[in-house]
Amino acid sequence: MILKLQNTILEMIARGEALQATIERLCVETEALLIGTVCSVLLVRDERLQALAGPSLPQSFQEALDGLPIGGFIGSCDTTAFQGEAVTVTEIEHDPLWAGFNAIALPLGFKARWSTPICSGGRVVATFTFYFQDCRGPNELEQRIVNACTHLCAIAIERDDRVRERQRLTYTDVLTGLPNRAAFNQVLSALAGRAGGGWAVILADLDNLKVINDTFGHGAGDELIQIVAKRIDAVAGTGRAFRIGGDEFAVVVESDTTSPLSTLAGRLLEAIKGQAHCGDHVVLPSATLGGCVASPDEPADQVRQGADVALYHAKERSRGQFVEHRPGLGTALTRRFRAIRDVSLALVEKQIHPYYQPIVRLDSGEVVGFEALCRMSKASGDIIAAANFHEATKDAHVAAELTQCMLQRVARDMRSWLNRGLPLQHVGINLSAADFHAGRLQERICTVFADAGVPLDHVILEVTESVYLGHRDHVVADEIKLLRSCGMRVALDDFGTGFASLTHLLTVPVDIIKIDKSFVDRLTPDDGAVVIVEGLVSIANKLGLRVVAEGIETDLQLKQLVSFGCKLGQGYLFSRAVDADAAASLMALYGQHVGNDHEPLRA
């Protein structure tokens, strides 16, 4: 009889059935064995009793016991839980423990009660109770059955606790205790396509967390995140606030009220900005918020994306404030957001590749070098030029990652060409402002080429005028001096389109100037560009600088440049940018070999 009961309940536990259903089945089976006896099980949670199962008890009876604090000696269950020992009440009507519950117990015909603790890990986790219709205690059979039942309950509760803990770890952020990104996505999935809308998402980014980490240490930064998390949670309400990234939070708003989203956003901003004591430091936190209200039947992903766009807009234009998404918000920002997303994904999936446009001697057509240009490949096989995802490079993090990827890929290709004995002279690699301000640029570049076994005198670093000359600080200029001291050459790209003047050629430490395509395009009779280009070539030659003309597309442009004394150029007249294999073929066919009367891209 007891063995059959054990097998039934153990099978339910093994199948992973819900705790309440399992224990209710246990009570039903036990009551069938002991006619006239009623069973119930109460959990012990946070020092209080919590009704779990009592299938033969009225709901009102269970509710009266639910939430009772243990240790109050009110009824026998809380006493059992507190003392960890079985408690037998043979006369409910006259027992002081039941003085406050006679009115609900006696009308049900209960005259006696026997409560037994259910223990796990050395603590009481629940109580198992028999209600009798006679004034008595348990008999031997009932004791044997209860011993089996408390053991089965302990197994079921332990398993449930393990499941709950796994779920907690899966859906809880360890640092803050808030629900994490997985929980956020789960909530959004539940809201997907909800009829009538009635919900919204607010995203929040902490401002200047990196500065706090760099200034006071990551410990202070972690404390700040914890403090802000508590403040957001207090305003949003339990289970509505999420930590979805390093300094990113989200709030899901489910309300049918007419209160605008900006009201809640204002309360969040106000709560966040109070003084925060992080270790020995006082920090004044701030955050930038973006939000989106769901339209009727709008997909959850679209609402999330709208909040993302609004947050991005706020970070660009209204840092420290809240922006709510509206149709047509920041079209340019939306393009940038999508470009950043696409490029970030391409970096992860290794779909960023260098293509190489040859630099040739204008008099002979020999290939003396290449400029490495960034390309992104799509799943369809299409190759996307950098101009089509230029918006992404305005994000400093993405720009720096792109450069690092390009450096590694170019270094690998160069090593392959050198191993094959091809006449490789130089490859130019473009740098952005983000590369200089990210720090350790010289170390990063030198490490990449050293690891690949490529001598640095094969490397040319191309820097646009706007990067090199458009910053009043000395970060870029100082870094370029370090790079040149390692043996690399530096080219001033897009010369003539930005901040350059002829006096800069006397002061900036560069080796090459690249005349922008916009000037080459205008090399037609009677255009002033003819005089400017001729003058630039003459001055650069006399200063010992090499000149490369960009964007050569016609024989007329080629003829005029040669007549000016310009010796090097690149453009569609010679070749578009090609992949590494095609570049190798160009070198094999047209590469300028050492010993020729060559015009290398360095003095």
- Closest residue by Cα to residue 515 from 541, 481, 483: 541
Percentage with pLDDT > 90 across the chain = 49
The residue-averaged pLDDT of 481-504 equals: 78
Assess whether pLDDT exceeds 70 at residue 524. Answer: yes
pLDDT band at residue 598, thresholds of 50, 70 and 90?
very low
Identify which has the larger pLDDT, 571 or 2. 571
Rounded Cα gap, residues 503 and 466, in angstroms? 16
Assess whether pLDDT exceeds 50 at residue 603. Answer: no
The residue-averaged pLDDT of 272-295 equals: 89
Assess whether pLDDT exceeds 70 at residue 180. Answer: yes
Instruction: Report the SS3 class of residue 476.
Output: helix
Catalytic residues: 247
Report pLDDT for 74: 61
The residue-averaged pLDDT of 315-335 equals: 80
Rounded Cα gap, residues 9 and 182, in angstroms? 33
Report pLDDT for 100: 66
CA neighbours closer than 13 Å in the CB half-sphere of residue 603: 14
Assess whether pLDDT exceeds 80 at residue 369. Answer: yes
Report pLDDT for 497: 65
Report pLDDT for 212: 86
Assess whether pLDDT exceeds 80 at residue 523. Answer: yes
Sequence-distant (6+) residues with CB within 8 A of 27 are: 39, 40, 41, 53, 54, 55, 56
Identify which has the larger pLDDT, 315 or 412. 412
* 217-274 pLDDT per residue, tens: 888 899 999 999 999 999 998 789 999 988 999 999 986 555 789 999 999 999 999 8
Instruction: Report the SS3 class of residue 261.
Output: helix
**Average pLDDT value for the chain:** 87
- Closest residue by Cα to residue 45 from 115, 97, 118: 118
Rounded Cα gap, residues 506 and 503, in angstroms? 5
374: left (phi over 0), alpha (psi -120 to 50) or beta: beta
Name the strand (E) or helix (H) holding 238.
none
Report pLDDT for 176: 92
Other CB atoms within a 10 A radius of the CB of residue 40 amount to: 25
Report pLDDT for 600: 47
Q: Which CATH class is domain 2-170?
A: alpha beta
Q: Which of 57-61, 504-508, 572-576 has the lowest mean pLDDT?
A: 504-508
* 392-448 pLDDT per residue, tens: 887 788 888 999 999 999 999 999 999 999 999 999 999 988 888 877 899 999 999
* DSSP secondary structure, 60-71, as one string: HHHHHHTTPBTT
Which superfamily, per CATH, for 339-590? EAL domain (3.20.20.450)
Rounded Cα gap, residues 286 and 270, in angstroms? 9
Ordered by start, the domain boundaries in the chain are 2-170, 181-329, 339-590
> Could you give the residue ranges of the DSSP H alpha helices within 135-277?
140-171, 181-191, 209-216, 218-236, 261-272
Q: Which of 67-71, 101-105, 498-502 has the lowest mean pLDDT?
A: 498-502
Rounded Cα gap, residues 566 and 362, in angstroms? 8
CB 164 within 8 A of CB 140: no
The residue-averaged pLDDT of 45-68 equals: 87
Rounded Cα gap, residues 6 and 571, in angstroms? 83
CB 38 within 8 A of CB 49: no
* 190-214 pLDDT per residue, tens: 887 665 667 899 999 998 888 888 8
Report pLDDT for 437: 80
The residue-averaged pLDDT of 378-385 equals: 80
- What are the backbone dihedrals phi and psi of residue 166, each rounded to the nearest 5 degrees, phi first? -60, -40
Report pLDDT for 498: 56
**CATH fold of the domain at 181-329:** Alpha-Beta Plaits (3.30.70)
Identify which has the larger pLDDT, 261 or 66. 261
* 560-589 pLDDT per residue, tens: 999 999 999 999 999 999 999 999 999 999
The residue-averaged pLDDT of 77-96 equals: 83
Report pLDDT for 197: 64
Between the ranges 58-62, 84-88, 249-253, 514-518, where is the mean pLDDT highest? 249-253
Report pLDDT for 599: 46
The residue-averaged pLDDT of 80-91 equals: 86
The residue-averaged pLDDT of 155-168 equals: 90
